[in-house]
Structure 1
Amino acid sequence: MTQTFDVEALIRLRSQTRVISDALKAQASDYLSTLALLIRPQTLFGEYLQGAQRSSGRETQHHFKELIELYERIGSASPFQLVSELEVPLNLISTTPELFPLEYDKVLAQSGQSIRITSPVRWVVGFSSFDLAQFRSVIKDPNRSSAELYRFVVHYLVLFYCLSKSPGLSRLFEGLRFALSFERLKGFGDLPFCIISSPVRSELPDESVIRSSTQIAGNTSFEELVSRDNILEMNDEIRQRLLLTIEGL
């Protein structure tokens, strides 16, 4: 996206981006809510989860052992450096999935200024009450509560484990054109996050536009933009797959 700084054009593009993003997030949230029953910590961990019914002892023991290994490897490392063991039984405050903004930092080449960038078409899946921005704040707080940090790490690890053990869920989201993937985010060590991506691509304008915009707004944040061209370039994966299927017949 190459363009000179035009305040009116940027305002229109931002308004357009916001409308598109709201519509896409509403659709993704609806899908996530409908498929939430397939995210099944109670089934996987059984009696190792507070309030859950007993199930196949050997199977739940295997899943909990793998979760402990994940926690010990990731939770004890930077930036978390937790020393507490995984509690038994696990007390999950929330198991309702929710979408949180996907943010990352971009350093502008000329000024060296760090800008917090938000994606309008990709989101992080987390349990409700465990906002990703709050998680980031807890990590950076020198006076942070170890108990609060523990809860964030455990809830995101449990969610990752449940989703990684449900490959069918990924295929369902892909069929709905909202791809589900696992990524590591800067500032969160080796903790893997589940990302839901819409079928629409967003992009950043030239750095000069970002710099001018943040200077006018008086802040250090910017949102990727979605143009009409981004919508027109969307691919229909089913159409492409069917075309490949009949090619050469």
Structure 2
Amino acid sequence: MQGAMTPIKEIQLEQMTQLRERSKTVSVILNKELQSYLKTITPLFSPRKVLGEYMQSASRDKVVGAEKNYSIILENYKAVLRDAFGYNAKLSSPVSAIQNELVAEPWVYSDDLDGTVLSFSSPVRWVLSYDCSYDLPRLIAEKLKGEQPHYDSITPFVLNALVIWLLLENSPGLVRLLEGLGYTVSIERQPEIAGTLPFVVLTSRVAAFRPQNELVRMVSQFSGSTGFEEIIDVDQIDAIENPLQVKLQSLLNGQA
């Protein structure tokens, strides 16, 4: 269950409308800021840095470590598609070109609320990957309906997730860059949805919460929807700390 990281906060039903409106206002700003950052840093995330000559490209230059990286991706690719989706998949060499266009989609997960399975999306957490016609929200929606993802849709989705995961595993400087922009970088998995597939997740310093389960179920029943978006805790915005400031203060306090 991936929702364990989101705190539960009890609120009243009559508070929902105002809280959602305020949350939406902040969410729009957070998304615009992240998209602006991604446009600037995208060249640093070229998938060719991982796959080199093992990916179709106009460049013929070899990349150090590409053979090892391809082997790691191939092993995980076959395991995920076999164990999570039942496909006996093969990966060509070189693989089809992956477009170097970063996208950040909301982190979505499913949770069972006493027999009612709902999907939750976070306005302060995003899955970082390369542009693909398929995404995590669609995968979860299909899984909750008992549908099998189509082979031609799920295979590039899995490959893209593995490539950016390995890129960040091999590039601590990129992780520090994202952290410097204000995001916590983590690797998350959803075993019941995608097996061992690693997702690169960015988390904002802004906090979000879920109302108590009873209220979530009530709202879901009223709306007829099986999805619920977490609510940004606007009351906690004033408490946001700047990591650099905290680090410097700690250093100076240690010298006092």
Quick check: TM above 0.5? yes
SS of match in other structure, 1:157: helix
Q: Find the counterpart in structure 1 of residue 200 from structure 2.
A: 194
Report the Cα offset of residue 2 of structure 1: 1.9
Q: Find the counterpart in structure 2 of residue 12 from structure 1.
A: 18
Change (3 A) 1:145 1:195: same
Q: Contact conserved, 1:135 with 1:152, CA < 8 A, in 2?
A: no
Q: Aligned partners of 1:118, 1:137: CA distance in 2, in Å?
A: 12
* Residues 26-83 of structure 1 deviation map (CA, whole Å, 9 limit, x = unaligned): 1112222211111122233222111242223663222222222222333332x12331
Q: Aligned partners of 2:40, 2:70: CA distance in 1, in Å?
A: 26
Q: Does 1:48 align with 2:54?
A: yes
Q: Aligned partners of 1:167, 1:114: CA distance in 2, in Å?
A: 37
Q: Contact conserved, 2:109 with 2:140, CA < 8 A, in 1?
A: no
Report the Cα offset of residue 138 of structure 1: 6.0
Q: Find the counterpart in structure 2 of residue 60 from structure 1.
A: 66
Q: Find the counterpart in structure 2 of residue 134 from structure 1.
A: 138
The equivalent position to 1:145 in structure 2, one of 137, 150, 157, is: 150
The equivalent position to 1:118 in structure 2, one of 96, 115, 121, is: 121
Change (3 A) 1:106 1:145: closer
Change (3 A) 1:154 1:228: closer
Q: Find the counterpart in structure 1 of residue 167 from structure 2.
A: 162
Report the Cα offset of residue 126 of structure 1: 2.2
Report the Cα offset of residue 137 of structure 1: 5.2
Deviates more, 1:151-160 or 1:126-135: 126-135
Q: Aligned partners of 2:252, 2:205: CA distance in 1, in Å?
A: 24
TM-score by length of 1: 0.88
Q: Aligned partners of 1:133, 1:92: CA distance in 2, in Å?
A: 24
TM-score by length of 2: 0.86
Q: Aligned partners of 2:64, 2:48: CA distance in 1, in Å?
A: 15
Deviates more, 1:145-154 or 1:9-18: 145-154
Q: How does 1:90-105 map to 2 (within 5 A)?
A: 90-105=95-110
Q: Aligned partners of 2:13, 2:210: CA distance in 1, in Å?
A: 13
Q: Aligned partners of 1:52, 1:138: CA distance in 2, in Å?
A: 36
Report the Cα offset of residue 190 of structure 1: 0.1
Q: Contact conserved, 1:178 with 1:197, CA < 8 A, in 2?
A: yes
Change (3 A) 1:244 1:232: same
Q: List runs of 5+ in structure 1 lacking aligned partners.
A: none
Q: Aligned partners of 2:205, 2:87: CA distance in 1, in Å?
A: 38
Report the Cα offset of residue 127 of structure 1: 1.8
Q: Does 1:176 align with 2:181?
A: yes
Q: Aligned partners of 2:63, 2:98: CA distance in 1, in Å?
A: 23
Q: Aligned partners of 1:89, 1:194: CA distance in 2, in Å?
A: 24
Return the letter of the residue paired with 2:49. Answer: T
